[in-house]
Amino acid sequence: MSRESILARVREALAVKTDSHVRHVSQQASTTLPVLANGPEGRAKAVREFLPFVGESFAERVAAFGMLSEKLQTEFICVADVETAHGELKRLAELNQWKRAGVHDHELLQNCTQNLGLELLATSSPYEVRDLAECDVGISGCDALIAQTASVLVTAHSAGGRALSVLPPHHVVLATADQMVATMADGYEILRRKHGDDWPSFMTFITGPSRTADIERVLVLGAHGPKKLSVILVGGTAGSWAGPRNTNQ
Amino acid sequence: MSQTRNPFTQFQTDATQVTADDDRRSFLRSSMRGYMNTRSATQGRFIDYESARIAAGEVKWEAIENLDVYLVQFADNLEARGTKVHWCDNSEQARETILGILKDHDAKTIIKSKCMTTEEIHLNDLLSQEGYEVVESDLGEFIVQLREEAPYHFVFPAMHLKKEEINRLFQEKLKSVSTSDPEALTMIAREVLREKYIQADVGISGANFGIAETGMISITENEGNARLTTALPKVHISLMGIEKVIPRIEDLALLLPMLATAGTGQHLTCYNSQLGGPRQPGETDGPDEMHVVLLDNHRTRLLADPEQRDALRCIRCGACLNVCPIFKNVGGHTYGTTYQGPIGSVITPHLRGLKNWKHLSHSSSLCGACTETCPVKIDLHHHLLRNRRNAAERGEGGLFERMLMKGFVFVMRRPWVYRAVGWTGKIAHFLSKPIHGTRLDPFYRWKKTRDLDDPAKQSFKQYWSSRK
């Protein structure tokens, strides 16, 4: 086994300290950056203090999420309650002519996906990949919405496994107002509180529909993953974000 | 390396060819302009981009300077959750390991998501020889794989190709209908690859980061191909260099936006996934087995260099390529390396030997654009100088360089010889005028792309004494 030989070489190499000049070049000004002196917490603080600004209030976060969503071509819909969310799903189902939907065990989802007239495939129990591939849409929950990046944080637990949110051509996310947080670091904090050390085997930050620009740098949506991403924020009208629905239609 | 072309000769031949191709060069320049514009806009949204660079750089310093601790933690945490970790000294061991896993599972078809480390160990060649069907799923990689060539740029593998060329390629290899619309071409690839994910026995990916604290790998992508590669097949193998380990999961909240901003100008790429093992109890999909193959392949040699271990902090965003005047003019294939551009020129001599790869450190204008743009503040252009110095100190320049330097010293130490050489040069300059630009000129090779001005009427020495 090469474990010991590699580790021995690493230790031998590190026995010689990094050249102080080289170390200094990249460290310049760090003495004037107090957040870095605070170790791990300082790094999380750096995310808030150096990266793009995110406001403290819910309304500001919804606005930031909405603004970036527009750029990303994510459809961001704020609704007052579960009933309106159900109405929105019905509207989307008719507009996009969905027939089959992939779903999973999730309280909010159950209340919103009843009586949509869709054939449902649940991925909470073992399922056939080919059946999921035939679905027109995957509807899932999430763990957090990240205002700084307009990302949806999902795990194998909150989004019905690994494939539901990536295999069907349209992904719809249902989120609640308390899930709107400022930064990705806050997203990890939520997962820590929820799972402790027992992390799900899969988590991902979804930032817009799947995309590529590999051919002449022309943006194409739906490279391999979903061509469309819709985020429905239930209880989000407090932010009165009305922009994206008007611009995306 | 015995039968292939000498890397230096190959570099010179290819560089000459590419620099003469004005059409391709302006095509490359215009796509780089697009990158610069979006990136500038994204950087502008940061509260303090410069401080973010320092912070990101510090995370990677902490990781590299404590690599022994974090590597052990990373591997132990992965194993605790059922992932098999394989430690490989070199390319050969890594290839054998991966081949062994494929044989254990009696695998036939393999889907791959973008992974430069597999290019480094030439995995595809081996697997094809052994009779496996290997399909690259990243669109750019898929295209260069069909063309049977290496990626042009380690972030934008097919950036050198025009849509018409891709159309011809797809028509020939995929029997698709003729279209030069990038969206239609993308959809052709999507359809072809969709079936491959579902059929594949094994998925092979890379890793952008390894998180020591939680025992996870992190994969950054835009297309969703890496997600499908790691979700559908029964076995997932991830190949990563040992330098990819970082301390904590929260570090990603800083590093992922920096990687995206510097790499493509996006504020965050579409999917940033962390994978911490095969399917766990209570989960309904994901692979039955996960393998992480850790590769040294001379990275510890670079680590042992107290000056240049700095370069192990690289997060492979490709920003230094995008701003490099050399890359823009000679193109990616000219380098002849897995990692192109300034970072490739810095690390390749360590990974593959200074003797054969020192020329890369000379093909630089030392303008420092790479150092200025690096999101983790690697002192890139000075490392090019350090490679040059090391090559000279070890006498890697060969007899010619040594004789040249001896001659230089001889001339500079003797004022009368210096004057004589100066006069000879002047006379030779005027005598050679009629044959300038022809092969009769003994300095033809050097002068064919340069015009020499007439020497000044008065030398500096004469000017200086006249002022006294």
Q: Output the average pLDDT for chain B.
A: 94
Average pLDDT over residues B292-311: 97
Note whether B59 and B198 are same-domain residues: yes
Residues of A in contact with B228 (CB under 8 A): 163, 166-167, 224-225
Using a CB-CB cut-off of 8 Å, the residues of chain B touching A166 are 224, 227-228, 231, 271
Count of structural domains within chain B: 2
Looking at residue A61, its pLDDT comes to: 95
The reply to whether A10 touches chain B by the CB within 8 Å rule is yes
pLDDT at A66: 96
pLDDT at A29 over 70: no
In this structure, the answer to whether residues A21 and A126 fall within a common structural domain is no
Q: What is the ipTM of this complex?
A: 0.94
How many domains would you assign to chain A? Answer: 2
B315 found inside a domain: no
The reply to whether A136 and A37 lie within a common domain is: no
Identify the residue with better confidence: B455 or B101: B101
Which residue of chain B has the CA closest to A48?
Answer: B47
Cβ contact B60:A23 at 8 Å: no
Q: What is the CATH number of the domain that holds A208?
A: 3.40.50.10420
A97/A187 same-domain check: yes
Identify the domain containing residue B456 by its residue range.
414-467
Q: Which of B264, B279, B300 is the last residue of a domain?
A: B300
User: Which residues of chain A have a CB within 8 Å of the CB of B274?
Assistant: 202-204
Q: What residues form DSSP beta bridges with A186?
A: none
**Could you please report the per-residue DSSP string of B405-445?**
HHHHHHHHH-HHHHHHHHHHHHHHHHHTGGGTTSTTSTTHH
Residues A143, A43 share a domain: no
Query: Is residue B236 in some structural domain?
Result: yes
A66 and A24, same structural domain?
no
Chain B residue with minimal CA distance to A5? B89
Residues A180, A226, single domain; the answer is yes
Q: What is the pTM of this model?
A: 0.93
Query: Which range has the worst mean pLDDT, A141-145, B30-34, B444-448, B456-460?
Result: B444-448
Residues in A touching B248 (Cβ below 8 Å): 40, 43
Q: Is residue B4 part of a domain?
A: no
Cβ–Cβ of B47/A53 closer than 8 Å? yes
Closest CA to A54 of A191, A155, A151, A190: A151
**pLDDT at res. B451:** 79
Indicate if A143 and A162 belong to the same structural domain.
Answer: yes
Contact A210, B270 (CB under 8 A): yes
pLDDT tens for residues A192-220?
A: 999 999 999 999 999 999 999 999 999 99
Contacts of B51 in chain A (CB under 8 A): 29, 33, 46, 49-50
pLDDT of A243 reads 55
For residue A185, list chain B residues with Cβ-Cβ distance below 8 A: 250, 253
In a domain, B380, yes or no: no
Tell me if A26 and B257 make a contact (CB, 8 A cut-off).
no
Are B51 and B174 within one domain?
yes
For the ranges A32-46, B89-103, B138-152, the lowest mean pLDDT is seen at A32-46
Give the domain-ending residue among B248, B283, B300: B300
Tell me, yes or no, whether A221 and A165 share the same domain.
yes
Quote the domain boundaries for residue A16. 3-48
* B82: CATH: 3.40.50.10420
- Whole-angstrom Cα distance, residue B224 to residue B338? 24
Q: Do A223 and B304 touch (CB under 8 A)?
A: no
Residues A23 and A76 in one domain: no
Query: With a CB-CB cutoff of 8 Å, which residues 408-447 of chain B face chain A?
Result: none
**A8/A80 same-domain check:** no
Question: Which of A11, A28, A48 corresponds to the end of one domain?
Answer: A48
Averaged pLDDT of chain A: 90
Answer yes or no: is pLDDT of A245 > 50: no
> Same structural domain for residues A112 and A202?
yes
Q: Do A12 and B304 touch (CB under 8 A)?
A: yes
Same domain, A112 and A79: yes
Do β-strands A151-155 and A202-206 pair in parallel, antiparallel, or remain unpaired? antiparallel
Half-sphere exposure of B171 (CA within 13 A, CB side): 10
Residue B353 lies in a domain: no
Residue where a domain stops, chosen among B270, B300, B330: B300
pLDDT in tens, B355-401: 999 999 999 999 999 999 999 999 999 999 999 999 988 888 788 88
Residue B209 in any domain: the answer is: yes
Amino acid at B228: L
Q: What is the pLDDT of residue A1?
A: 64
Q: Is the pLDDT of residue B38 over 70?
A: yes
Report the pLDDT averaged over residues B158-163.
95
Q: Is residue B205 assigned to a domain?
A: yes
